[in-house]
Amino acid sequence: MTPRIPATEITGLYGAVVKKFSTRLFGQVPESLGVMWHHRPVLKASMGFGQKLQKWDACDESLKSFAHMAVASLIGCSWCLDFNYFMAKNQGLDVDKAREIPRWRESEVFTPLEREVLEYAEAMSQTPPTVTDEMVASLLEQLGEAGLIELTTVVGFANLTTRSNVALGIESEGFAAACGLKPMAERAVIPSSA
């Protein structure tokens, strides 16, 4: 699939900065930036908030990264899965766990806390959300108030980005493959009950 809105040329002084940063980080300028370039204030706001999220430290970085990837897997955002898998490697996170996110329920690599975080991320992402008092109470006990609020906000942001990318037809650009990471595990198909 190609993006539903064609990428436009990235121009101007800010464009030069964005292209330089992207090339340094990814080795290329992602097509998705050209799509979002049609509305630079939205692009700047999204990038700015994403950068702020990365500076927060009340919740473990692995938990936040895995939660974002769980949302991406559930929603079907191949761009976010690819990007976060790539970033997990760059941030020194456990890439073997990251690649297993799409099949986290069947995988044996996750700790009980990681499983609770992944379940919470998916529950927040359902329509309507299926978060329970028990989920929150357990995570609150383990992460504390600030940690749970941070995790919840990261999951909310993940829903914004994943749903926007899927709606706009923005798909994986091969970041993880370009740096030699194994392909992501496939999400288990859950049979429907008839």
188 inside domain: no
Domain that includes residue 111, residue range = 57-178
Question: How many domains in the chain?
Answer: 2
Asked if 72 and 114 sit in the same domain, the reply is yes
pLDDT score, position 116: 98
Report, as ranges of residue numbers, the positions in the chain whose pLDDT lies below 50.
194
For 95, left (φ over 0), alpha (ψ -120 to 50), or beta? alpha
134 inside domain: yes
36 inside domain: yes
Asked if 106 and 79 sit in the same domain, the reply is yes
Distance of CA 85 to the CA centre of its chain: 9
Tokens linked to 16: 């030069």
CB 93 within 8 A of CB 61: yes
Tens of pLDDT along 124-169?
Answer: 999 999 999 999 999 999 999 999 999 999 999 999 999 999 999 9
130 inside domain: yes
47 inside domain: yes
pLDDT score, position 179: 77
pLDDT score, position 186: 85
pLDDT score, position 194: 46
Distance of CA 144 to the CA centre of its chain: 23
Q: Tell me which residue has tokens 């692995």.
A: 62
Asked if 132 and 37 sit in the same domain, the reply is no
Tokens linked to 61: 């970085």
Q: Residues 177, 101, 83, 172: what is their CA dihedral angle, to the nearest 10 degrees? A: 70
* Rounded Cα–Cα distance for residues 43 and 155 (Å): 19
Where residue 93 sits, what CATH number does that domain have? Answer: 1.20.1290.10
Asked if 153 and 122 sit in the same domain, the reply is yes
Asked if 82 and 168 sit in the same domain, the reply is yes
Asked if 100 and 38 sit in the same domain, the reply is no
**H or E segment to which residue 181 belongs:** none
Asked if 123 and 155 sit in the same domain, the reply is yes
pLDDT score, position 43: 95
CB 112 within 8 A of CB 138: no
Q: How many CB atoms lie within 10 A of CB 75?
A: 18
Asked if 15 and 107 sit in the same domain, the reply is no
CB 68 within 8 A of CB 154: yes
Asked if 160 and 73 sit in the same domain, the reply is yes
Asked if 40 and 68 sit in the same domain, the reply is no
Asked if 109 and 18 sit in the same domain, the reply is no
1 inside domain: no
Asked if 49 and 74 sit in the same domain, the reply is no
